Each structure stands twice: as C-alpha cells, then as structure tokens.
Amino acid sequence: MSFYKGIKMVNCALKFYAKMIKIKNIVAIAIFTILVYACNENTTGVIVDDFDHEAQALIDKDSLIEFLKNNYYDTTVDSLKTLVAGKTAIYNDPKLETVNVSYDDIDYLMYVYVKDEGNPVPVKSNPTILDSILVNYHLGYFKDSIDYIPLQKLETATWFNPASIAVEGWLHGFTYFKGGENITNNGPITYKGGGNGIIFIPSGLAYRNLGSGSLPSNANVIYYVNLFDVVEETDHDGDGIASILEDPDGDGEPRNDDTDSDLIVNYIDADDDGDGVLTKNEDANGDGNPANDFSDPNNPTLPDYLNPDIN
C-alpha cells in the first residue's frame, strides 16, 4: 500500500471518528452504515471518501434558488405550485427566511417558509436544535428540475428526539416555528395554533450523496411541517443542564464537546468530567444548576461539573 493510499484510509477513518464524537448514541451506528457507502473502494481495497461535498453545496444552492424562483405558495390548496402570471415567486415572498448553516466545515444555504410561526399556550419559545419536538410532516424532493416529487407522509403527531435525527437541516428549520395549544378533550391529541410551513434543505444537510430509500443521491429535500409542542431546554442526560447549554468551548455547537474524552459528548454524558460523580450531584449550592458551582480556587471560572479535580 502506498503512503498516499494509506493517508486516504486514515482520513476516512478519522471522518467516521469525528461523526462518532459529534452525535454518539444510535445515530453513530447509522452514520457508520452511511460511511460504508459514502467511502468508495478502489481496486486495491483502500477505502476513500472522495466525494466533493463543497462543490455539491454550490450546486444545491443554485438548484434551490431556481426552484424557489419558479414556484409560489398557493394558499387555496396550501401547497407549492409552478409559478404563473400574477403570482409572487416564493423566493420573493416576505415569509421566506434564508438560513446559513455551517456543517462539517462547509457553508450551506437553506430556506424556511414560515406560513405561521405558531402561538403556543402556555407561552413557549422557538425550539433549539437540541430540543425535543412534537411534529408531523410531508416529505418530498426535487433534483435536476423544478418539479416537486412527494415521498412520505407522517400524519400522526410524533415526538422527535433531535439526538436521533440524521437530517441536519431539519433541526435548524424547526427553530423558526413555535408550538400551539393542546385542546385535547377525551379524544386524540389535538392542537391548534401550531407553527407550520416548509423547510427547503440542500442535499448536504439531508441525505447527501447517499440517498435514502426512494430518495436519490444529492437530492434537495422539502418538508411541509407542523410543529405542535416543544420540550423547552431539553436535558437529554438528566444532569440538570439543558443540552443546548452544554457547550463549554462556546462555539454554539454542543455536539462537539466531550470534556472527559470518553467518546460521549457532554449533552448525553451524565458525568461530564469523568470524575466518578454524576454531574447532577456536583451542585454545591443545591440550587439544581451544576453550571453555577465553582469550588476550585485554582480554576475559579471552571464549574465543578467540568473539573475532574472537584468531586
């Protein structure tokens, strides 16, 4: 094996390791399966990931803009339609939000059409990318054309744990909506006033060059979504600190923080510093928030739950 081919093999392995660090739990298994297909095998048996995701991001950007300029939102049928005279392209619709997302060191552009933001009762904020949400959706895609191709419908309102979501753009899209009011009365769970709209996601923030089932590779996906409820400040590991706040490096991305280097990121790690004491028990002042306890005079700005010298 040549040195160059060996480097390629190592690079592919490192990419898998990075994915493990970023998401962990069962999603890591899914990612492993994905990477097996994403990494092409050459004639010498060396596995390499040679797909140009950055170039695809530019292609997706142009495709999304073309689609948005050639379609409008028809309120009479609550759906996208091919643009006709007298209608406003959704690209120029004031309800369309432009969303910039950096993922795997690549900058992506996605869009969210906010038909209704939502009016939650009791009042709740927009979900973060790590808050559990109650939703339903219709999924479709477009590729190499301006035609929308429907694929899947989830009519039943279902709770989704963001730690198990493989579509990165989905997580960012829902941050533009709010929930509604639970008006259930001796029957099926029913909400009114929930957020709804459309999330337009480039392939690089969806299923990338792999596809999924009937969804082809490099397909830009579209979700018609309804958001009914949100678990604000979801705490996946039950340690008393909201998952979105378990971001000690302050880069806005809790999914890459692993203080004790045990391959379990902090927001799903019940003992963040690996000192044998659960994070929820490193609460010296007893206020239920381990993040505001600082007992080490040598590290006065390092909270106890991230300090292995304090237990």
Closest CA to 116 of 228, 275, 262: 228
Q: The whole model's pTM is what?
A: 0.82
Tens digits of per-residue pLDDT, 198-230?
999 999 999 999 998 899 999 999 999 999 999
Domains defined for the chain, CATH in brackets = 3-48 (no CATH), 53-230 (3.10.50.40), 236-311 (no CATH)
Q: What are phi and psi of 277, to 5 degrees?
A: -110, 125
| DSSP H helices in the chain | 3-23, 25-38, 53-69, 168-173
| pLDDT given for residue 53 in this prediction | 95
| pLDDT given for residue 26 in this prediction | 44
Closest CA to 198 of 54, 46, 91, 45: 91
Tens digits of per-residue pLDDT, 49-77?
689 999 999 999 999 999 999 999 998 89
Confidence of residue 42 (pLDDT cuts 50, 70, 90): low
- Dist. CA 248–CA 306, nearest whole Å: 9
Tens digits of per-residue pLDDT, 111-150?
999 999 999 999 999 999 999 999 999 999 987 777 889 9
Average pLDDT, the chain: 87
Tens digits of per-residue pLDDT, 223-272?
999 999 999 999 999 999 999 999 999 999 999 999 999 999 999 999 99
User: Cα–chain-centroid distance for residue 29?
Assistant: 17
